[in-house]
Amino acid sequence: MSARRSSATPATAPSPFLTLPLEVRQRILYFTFDSDLASMVIPPTLHEGEAHSVITCNSDNPRSTRKSLKEKTSRSLCWDLDDLPHWARWLNKVHASFEEDLEFVEREWIVELFRLNDEREEEIRKATQQCAAMWPARNEWEGAPL
């Protein structure tokens, strides 16, 4: 009678994840971070469904929407930058060998977050561009804080 082979992996065997190439592991770890900024969607116009006109572009709604979007973008960047080290520490507890991978991935995310922030600000600028042209005091639009 032959002994049954155990389907359990010995405790000393490395996890299949740890045997993956470094770049693949880092890419997988990269996609485990849930970024608010990355999932943020900026509308193409500040008053969807309404034509640009002196009336629609001078109302408080486009200006308050613009301000709200800029504040949300800024908040999302801050939250993501604050969450990133917590995420890395949490994942590092899974396996000590993740430390080097996570340091690299964390640096990559920091660069990506600032790139995303710039991208979102450009999307907001484009969404407000047509309204700014309709606003009689254009300098107020372009120079307005936030």
Q: Over the stretch 84-102, which tens digit does the pLDDT of each residue have?
A: 999 999 999 988 888 999 9
Structure confidence at residue 48 as a pLDDT band (50, 70, 90): confident
* Residue 139, token pair as written in the block: 């300098």
What is the model's pTM? Answer: 0.76
Structure confidence at residue 3 as a pLDDT band (50, 70, 90): low
pLDDT in tens, 100-117: 999 999 999 999 999 999
Structure confidence at residue 61 as a pLDDT band (50, 70, 90): confident
**All structural domains of the chain with their residue ranges:** 53-136
Number of C-beta neighbours around residue 111 at 10 A: 9
Report the candidate in 74, 29, 69, 31 with the shortest Cα–Cα distance to residue 47: 69
Query: According to the model, what pLDDT value does residue 115 have?
Result: 98
Is the pLDDT at 47 greater than 70, yes or no?
Answer: yes
Structure confidence at residue 146 as a pLDDT band (50, 70, 90): very low
Q: Contact 35/86 with Cβ under 8 angstroms?
A: no
Structure confidence at residue 45 as a pLDDT band (50, 70, 90): confident
Report the candidate in 67, 54, 70 with the shortest Cα–Cα distance to residue 132: 54
Mean pLDDT across the chain: 84
Answer with the residue of higher pLDDT: 136 or 121.
Answer: 121
* Residue 3, token pair as written in the block: 């002994």
